[in-house]
Amino acid sequence: MILVCGEALIDLFVESGRPAPERGGLPALAVAGGSPFNLAIGIRRLGADSAFLAGLSADAFGRMLADRLTAEGVDLAFAKESPRPTPLAIVSTGADGHPAYTFHAEACAHADLGPAELPAALPERVRAIAMGSFSLVAEPVGTAYAALAAREARRRVISLDPNLRLGLIPDLDRWHARFDELVANADIVKLSDEDLRAAYGTHADEASLAQGWLDAGVALVVVTAGPDGARAYHAAGPVAVPGRPVTVIDTVGAGDTFHAALLARLDRDGRLSRDALLGLDAESLRDILSEAVAAAGITCTRLGADLPTRGDLLSVLSGEVSA
């Protein structure tokens, strides 16, 4: 089982291309979302067990999120019901399919989890913990997740995806302090090239940053690059795989899909342990990355974060259909 930590929220898609109702207003579609929420579902759809550790609101949106997770087979035994409201993300997509976000997340349910509310012990079936997104710097939940990572480090695989949204990070120095704290206990760091530029500037040296994280104890660093595929940094050396040509509807959830496919594949191969990660060779890494890129490509052909199943992925990989 992979325990996913982070927010569940409502993506409110603004449909600016459609006419407004007669009485005015802006047409919109409320969709269950949030990067960790998507990750938990994606892992399940790709054949691995997942659980969700976060605050979920008792409001109507929160019940919708909980019902969706349950319907997808995600274990909610570690989740906390909160009286706080569900966070909202207003989403609009540009002509290139890339989403733009405006967040309403102050004093919401995702942050309503403190260190004292962490499970005293995790069952043995939890082989990995995945965490990321803006909950890492929300309080008190960010401190709780950091404490969990420190407690479980080197006992279970810790996978970190910053999914950085600068609009939700009022203090980037504080974000860096938390990210560095988590990296010290992480086995996998997965981020996008957009995350890297947002955090370290447009001229950041990706290879040097990755090597620094490896030197700090991370076993595997993966940088996704949209249509250009993905790059991995590991003791076996750097590995790059190209993107797959797809007809892009939007890219919402593509990074979450990549992360889910990466973890699900490692789990399926019996490599979801620190020793197994360190023992990966370049050929195995290339194969794993190629599968994750293919999975992300499927999501890009769909509206919103509609992550693929294992069957969807196998169809694409076998050439039965084209993404």
Amino acid making up residue 150: A
CA separation, residue 160 to residues 80, 222, 314, 318 (Å)? 22, 10, 26, 30
Collapsing DSSP states into helix, strand and coil, what is residue 228?
helix
Mean pLDDT is lowest, of 102-106, 108-112, 243-247, 258-262, for 102-106
pLDDT tens-digit map of 53-77: 999 999 999 999 999 999 999 999 9
Instruction: Identify the residue whose tokens are 């969990």.
Output: 148
Structure tokens, 147: 């404490």
Given this model, what pLDDT does residue 160 score? 98
**Per-residue pLDDT tens over the stretch 135-175:** 999 999 999 999 999 999 999 999 999 999 888 888 999 99
pLDDT(96) > 70: no
- pLDDT number for residue 322: 47
Per DSSP bridges, beta strands 128-132 and 2-5 are: parallel
Q: Is the pLDDT of residue 95 over 70?
A: no
Please give the angle made by the CA atoms of 90, 93 and 98, to the nearest 5 degrees.
115
Q: Which residues of 259-289 are buried (b: 16+ CB within 10 A; e: fewer)?
A: bbbbbbbbbeeebbbbeebeebeeebbeebb
In percent, how much of the chain has pLDDT > 90? 82
Would you state the pLDDT for residue 18?
Answer: 52
The whole-number pLDDT of residue 92 equals 77
Does the pLDDT at position 91 exceed 80?
A: no
CA 66 vs. chain centroid, Å, equals 18
How confident is residue 20, by pLDDT bands cut at 50, 70 and 90? low
Domain ranges across the chain: 2-318
Torsion-angle region of 259 (φ positive above 0: left; ψ -120 to 50: alpha; else: beta): alpha
CA-closest candidate to residue 256, choices 57, 15, 65, 44: 44
Please, what is the average pLDDT of the chain? 92
What gap in Å lies between CA 230 and CA 295, rounded to an integer? 12
pTM of the model: 0.93
Fold of 2-318: UDP-N-acetylmuramoyl-L-alanine:D-glutamate ligase (3.40.1190)
Helix intervals (H) in the chain = 35-45, 60-71, 141-152, 172-183, 193-200, 206-215, 254-268, 274-278, 282-300, 310-318
